[in-house]
Amino acid sequence: MSLAESISQLRIGSGPEQEIARQQFAQFIQKKGLKQTQQRALVLEVFLGISGHLTVQELAEQMKTHEPNIGLTTVYRTLRLLVESGVAEERHFTDGQARFEVAKLGTHHDHLICTVCGNIFEFEDDEIEARQNKIATDRGMTIRRHRHEIYAECDSPNNCPNNSSTQTSSSS
């Protein structure tokens, strides 16, 4: 089957993190009494293979290069399962679209978003994390999670790999 071949191909070049994610998802599927299907495997592999913050549309596009018959609905449903299983994380930036990224367990990474080219960088700062904890504990509260997004303009567009493509019309 070409679908199975695609999945095997995609697996080449994967690291230990991907392996953990696969096991995590497989366990989740079993525990819930669900079934392991080729479509789910494909969604997982494509998702793991792409590092970034993907919309469902972008993911579905990539998916279709491997299996044109895959339905948008399946991508949505599988993505929800991936979030439930802890493999993926769902985020909402300023546009109305949901974006998904690989959940990196333990490491908090926040986002620096370029308002010129839409590029998304990740950052982490222990000092900020520490101050956050203080802010919460000062009020007798315990942090569950947090979200930190910085929207900035790149001074030199060379920074941004995709400054000439996918422009979102903004002029001010």
Partner DNA sequence: CTATCTGCAAAGGTTTTGCAATGAC
Partner DNA sequence: GTCATTGCAAAACCTTTGCAGATAG
Positions that interact with a copy of itself (CB under 8 A): 84, 90, 92-96, 98, 112, 114-115, 121, 123, 125, 127-128, 131-132, 135-136, 139-156, 159, 172
Closest approach, Cβ 136 to DNA, in A, equals 26
Span interacting with DNA, options 45-53, 66-74, 111-119, 157-165, rule CB under 7 A: 66-74
End-to-end C-alpha distance for the chain, whole angstroms: 52
Closest approach, Cβ 22 to a copy of itself, in A, equals 21
- What strand order describes the sheet that includes 88-92? 54-55, 98-102, 88-92
Q: Are 69 and 100 in contact (CB under 8 A)?
A: no
Determine the Cα–Cα distance for residues 144 and 116; give it in Å rounded to an integer.
32
For a copy of itself, which is the closer residue by CB, 88 or 114? 114
Closest approach, Cβ 82 to a copy of itself, in A, equals 14
For a copy of itself, which is the closer residue by CB, 28 or 64? 28
Closest approach, Cβ 100 to DNA, in A, equals 9
Q: Are 82 and 118 in contact (CB under 8 A)?
A: no
Cβ-in-10-Å burial (0-12, 13-18, 19+) of 158 comes to exposed
Question: Judged by CB under 7 A, which of 6, 18, 74, 85 binds DNA?
Answer: 74
Across 50-59, b (16+ Cβ under 10 Å) vs e yields eeebbebebb
Residues that bind DNA (CB under 7 A): 29, 33-40, 55-57, 67, 69-74, 76-78, 80, 96-98
